[in-house]
Chains A and B, each alone.
Chain A
Amino acid sequence: MRDASPAKIYALHVGVIALLFALNFVLPDYHQGLFARIMALAVFAMGYNLLFGYVGLLSLGHAMFFSAGLYGAGLTVYHLGWGVAEAFIAGIACGALLALVIGLLALRTSGVAFMIVTMMFAQVFYLLILYFAAWTGGDQGLVVQQAARTLNLDGAPLDLTNPTVRYMSALALFAVVLIATLAVVRSRFGRVLVAVRENEERTKMLGYDTVANKLAAVVLSGTICAASGAAYALLFGYIGSSFASVQYSILPLLWVLLGGAATTLGPLIGTLFMYYVTDITSGFTSAYLLIVGVALILLVLFAPKGILGSIRQRWLGWLP
């Protein structure tokens, strides 16, 4: 945070949100849908980044927080017939509670053990979804009917399956989480989180209860990821066990590494980049994953701090 003028930083972030808002009106249908998906998943990446980028805790189990939100929202609509707003809150609450419990257990470890423990819990979560297939739909998943995905605002129904409503809903969530993360990382709490990443022992000797701070970060990160999952279920209408698989724990890590760990806008850029590289290359060849892999290797070789991390290092030191 060198020579950071708060006005400039907030202007940049509001500018990005405004740009995404404007894109709704110019993007072709297909890309409008893709962008809505990317914004919802960028929230997942931002939640992951808070823990991985700023606190330096590498979790390999964040799929469980995402799917806690996904199932928490999806199942309450599907089985209990809850409204969209209530279901969204239920999804977030499930993720927050799960993150608190997992945090209390997993933070007894650090480093590689933390990766293994979080991964193990996520596998348990994944297997539970398959085990309770009668309610969750197992590996087939469930489709939340279009009729159930309508938000009632004082009698004015908002159909979340409408492309523009969906885009704007994803953007609203993205905007709230982006500004919230920005505020967190610029706060006193954010400064302590970075200090824990840099040197936990030293941070303790400055009077900080580092375990309590890490727990708060796990809960915040898990809650944001759950919000992403809940929004995904309600906006795209499908909940499936693949979202709880280990692949979805690794994806946010890749998005964040690509975009730039510990940058507020990096998760969006990383998610956007990955989606479009996959999308474009799969149009040419069935071996598109090979090209994605090559792109990743090139990036690690030439920009190890990710796209935005490298830009910050070379040119824009003030980026948060």
Chain B
Amino acid sequence: MMPLLTTKGLSRHFGGLRAVDGVDFALMPGEIRAIIGPNGAGKTTFVSLLSGRIRPSSGAILFDGADITDMPAYRRVRLGVAYTFQITSVFANLTAFDNVALPVQRTLTDGRSKGQVRSGVMAALERTGLADRAGTLAAHLSYGHQRLLEVAMGLALKPRLLILDEPTQGLADSEIDNFVVLVREIAKNATVLLIEHNMPVVMQLADRITVFNSGKILAEGTPEQIRANTEVQDAYLGATHG
């Protein structure tokens, strides 16, 4: 099977800092992949390169066989690469409805979905449990609901690849359980790449895990393999082994 997304020697340097350093990475269609690693390992920079928010210093990115290295972010979104932000960045002064209407009308304009804006918006809000808050300003939603709104916006883009940057940060335990169910649901139609610090969530969700350290891939494998990998334990899980 051909990978949905491939990177070849992908690098991004900030001055002397090699935030992402020659990464070769492949993601299979339909999988849920988690990226873990200590702070400053280059995880967010890496997914920002994939989404097009920042440009690589060198290397190439292929999506569905096409080279998208030099493609602006908005055009990658139209191809089906959606990105949800680490720091919640919903449109605070717009209603939840209008927040989701923006991605819905995008897919309608691109011909990637059919129907009315309203029905598309309500479907996305219902999937994330926000339907009864459609008319609320995003700024007036609780933090957990704002994170869910962020996910609803990602979903409404009908992504083929959904990149979630620390989606459970700041969520209550009960909200995290719902979130795990939601991601499984999303993964039926899309490939999911998530950066996550919450290890129970990673172990429950991920088909495979990629471990970053100092801008490079340190290890990659199933949750069991990663759990058993002593190098990873040294770099990241730290104290758990003697």
Contacts and interface: CB of A to CB of B under 8 A. Distances in A.
Nearest to B95: A2
B209 interface: no
Contacts of A238: none
Interface string A138-182: 000000000000000000000000000000000000000000000
A208 B74 contact: yes
A202 B74 contact: no
B157 A206 contact: yes
B95 A207 contact: no
Given A191-B98, A205-B83, A208-B74, A199 B105 contact: no
Contacts of B137: 2
* Interface bin, chain B: 20 to 34
A167 B233 CA distance: 80
B119 to A, nearest CB: 15
* Residue among A2, A202, A205, A209 having the largest count of chain B Cβ atoms under 10 Å: A205
Tell me if A's interface is mostly helix, strand, loop or mixed.
helix
Contacts of A2: 95, 135, 137
Contacts of B95: 1-2
Contact of B110 (A188, A191, A202, A207): A207
A204 B109 CA distance: 15
Contact of B74 (A1, A191, A199, A210): A210
Contacts, number: 66
A3 B98 contact: no
B73 A191 contact: no
Contact of B94 (A195, A201, A208): A195
Interface stretch (B85-93, B185-193, B218-226, B234-242): B85-93
Contact of A207 (B78, B89, B92, B98): B78
B118 interface: no
A205 B91 contact: no
B127 interface: no
A188 B73 contact: no
Given A188-B109, A188-B117, A199-B89, A207 B103 contact: yes
Given A194-B94, A195-B94, A199-B91, A208 B106 contact: yes
A204 B101 contact: no
Interface residues of A, number: 20
Contacts of A191: 98, 101-102, 105
Nearest to B53: A205
Given A188-B117, A191-B101, A207-B157, A198 B94 contact: yes
B106 A206 contact: yes
A192 B73 contact: no
A203 interface: yes
A50 to B, nearest CB: 18
Contacts of A192: 102, 105
A185 to B, nearest CB: 12
Given A188-B117, A207-B103, A1 B98 contact: yes
Q: Which among B94, B102, B117 has the highest number of chain A CB atoms within 10 Å?
A: B102
B194 interface: no
A195 B74 contact: no
A201 B101 CA distance: 17
- 7 closest Cβ pairs, A-B complex: A207-B77, A207-B106, A198-B91, A188-B105, A207-B78, A204-B74, A206-B103
Interface of A: 1-3, 188, 191-192, 194-195, 198-199, 201-210
Interface of B: 51, 53, 72-75, 77-78, 83, 85, 89-95, 98, 101-103, 105-106, 109-110, 117, 135, 137, 153, 157
Given A198-B92, A206-B102, 20 more contacts: A188-B105, A191-B105, A192-B105, A194-B98, A198-B91, A198-B93, A202-B85, A203-B102, A204-B74, A204-B77, A205-B83, A206-B103, A206-B157, A207-B103, A207-B106, A207-B110, A208-B74, A208-B102, A209-B72, A209-B74
